[in-house]
Structure 1
Amino acid sequence: MAKQGEGPSEGESSQGSAPLEGGIADGTTPHGEVREKKKNGKLKNGKGKHPSGGRRNGVERSESLKGVKKSGAKGGRKRKVMKQLKRKGQVKERGGSGSEEDSEGSGEDLLEVDFEMIDPSDKYKDNVRILLRSTELYPNLKCTEELVSIICDQQNIGKFLCVASGQRVGEKEGASENVAAGGEADLSSGDGNNVVGFLTIINLNQYAEIAALKELLLQKVKKVNAPDYVESAKRITSLLLTSETKNVGLLLGHRILNTPISLVPLIHKNVIEDVYWSQGIEDLDESEKKFYFFDFLLIYTKVYHTAEGELIFANYEEEHFFQHKTDHVMWNNNNVKKFYEAVEQKNREVTYKEFATVFVVPFGQVGAALKQMESGVSGVSGVSSVSGGG
């Protein structure tokens, strides 16, 4: 029974919105190559500066990968093979011998898009600020500017997803409000890189300037008094307070509505590789390096309860992380959302209650969650395989 939310929502976008699909290029350097070279300068609190243009220590990535071709021909979608981002990674769209001929009948236009994955940079603060508005954290956040600065300055862990030669999010009048409300960005015009998504992991004990963020999470968890969650709330609270013995990383990100789902596992895999790369920097001060040996990832998001007790997550990847949680809490945030259930080829409108949830995943289980994400993407119509090289 398929479910579709009413109007644009990031939860629906994670399922892959037609007609936009695309390939992605890596604008950074393979971590294995960098690890063999001695860094020119130390990173300080994750804020080390890397040379622009996708270079680290003189090593350059120059792959250019294409997305789906825009065609005025009538008919079904024209299929093509798309190379994917990270060294050996590939995404292939299913295509039959008659696919091009079949495209003669429908008049559906497809947009060709080149995606790039780049290291964080403070020149994209406005884009990140807009994207951050759509996260569950934002409404109660008291350190927004400090958090935006950390996301952009922490160049050793984190990735920005860009549409090459596209309009910047929020550049056109009214676009900021549209994207913040979950709308689609115009990806087809303009100059320069258009940051359409970001993903990072921030150690909640590393940056004093976002202490208010940690306090916000503690307040949310401590307020949960439902009997089913009392013990989990105690354990999550303990993790957040034991800064000397446990490293808890906040997995934080957002992407626009029509980001292809096939990119989601690859973005996450790259950020996890950033963590291992940071752990292996030989001349990094131990007082900083210790923050990158994460014990747990913490995720704060929203879910919807169906009448049958099923959970619908706001983002595709969260369902897979949730399957590997050790503890979680959940509370009704007094919102509802309309969905459409496809029953016997007819749409039936239903309304589900919205809940907020905080859950923790052991860092050692992240690899298993990534494999499940990749497996789920490979089963999506139009995508035959996804693999990422290390």
Structure 2
Amino acid sequence: MLYSPLDLPTLPVTAAATATGRHHPLLWSAPSNMLSVTEALQQILQHADPITDTESLALLQAHGRVLAAPQYSTLDVPPADNSAMDGYAFRYADHHQQGPQTFAVSQRITAGSPPQPLQTGTAARIFTGAEIPAGADTVVMQEQCEADKDAATVQVPAGVELNNNIRPRGQDIRSGAEVAAAGDLLTPQRMGLLASIGVAEVPVYRRLRVAIMSTGDELTEPGQPLSAGKIYNSNRYLLAGLIAKMGMELVDLGCVADNAAATEAALERAAASADVIISSGGVSVGEEDHVKNAVEKLGTLQLWKIAIKPGKPVAFGKIGTTPFFGLPGNPVSTFITFLLFARPFLQRLQGQQPVAFRGQHFPASFNRRKASVRREFMRVRMDDAGRMHTHPNQSSGVLTSTSWSNGLAVLEENRVIQEGDPVEVIFYDQLF
């Protein structure tokens, strides 16, 4: 399980856990030259200073934006008692007979029309959502009543309960209640909620500007001929889609040549035009991997190398004051490290509070006979019966595994797993 820094447990590692190799994943220390997943996330989030620039948007245009100020209701919702059914409203005390009782129908009330006070001893024909007239306190659904052909009288059954089928004033929201907090993402549900209290415009943080760049002379853009030794640039489109999914503004720097001068120039352009820079590739130790050196020259490198599989060579630092992520070049590694590290960082910068990933546990469908020093994220597909299916190729270059799967199985460090053991699965719909 992955936690935010505010949600870290402090349980001790027991002797029994050591003996079985089942350490708590957050209490394990990575090898000295690597940070654990949790240590890395803690360090990264410490550098996330939320933006403060705001704008006012019409509520209809605010989907996916982050609220910059709390919103309070100035009215009760609903504003008056109303009917939950099409039926007949009457005063409970007037139903004094043991069996069914016939009432004269004194008025007809539709939704949106103000009712008249109910005449004593009568019933009102009422429709769903219509306001309950003064003097009435009970509604019987029309299917349980018998009206005459002229709708002048209605027979109401016995045994009806007081306040039946009445939605009371303020049942949903009370005047003065906070209905949305600063930092809330404006989902369709929250948009509807704000509309229900009459909010037409909302203050939101401006969209975060995220620059992406790809590195690698082997990369070719889709639509161009593919020559020998080249591959198509998938990471550019993968990252662009992930950033669009988060509702942020993309600054696309394209593909950067594999040389120090081009890398430094691209990073400087990105730092001047974006709030965050994300590159893919070039952060390993090869002779043509220039990103790490460029970051150290132009700014600072806070961390490099995380005990994770796939995705060990993850860099985080700053170009001047602009945060920088250097993600691995293999597409699966790019995908997973973005979700686990870049995504919560971007959320916090955008004004949201990152939510801890809380997966569900399912029986493992595989064996892991040798404990690993890295935490592994295996692409799995969970079926409707809760059975786990693992992709047959867990290579970091097999991008089809991310499209085929619907979640990540978390294989904690220093743990041997036997088929049937409980394994945590984080579903993509939690992360997207």
Q: Structure 2 length as normaliser, TM-score? A: 0.26
Identify, as 1 or 2, the structure richer in helix. Answer: 1
More contact order relative to length (CA 8 Å, sep ≥ 6): 1
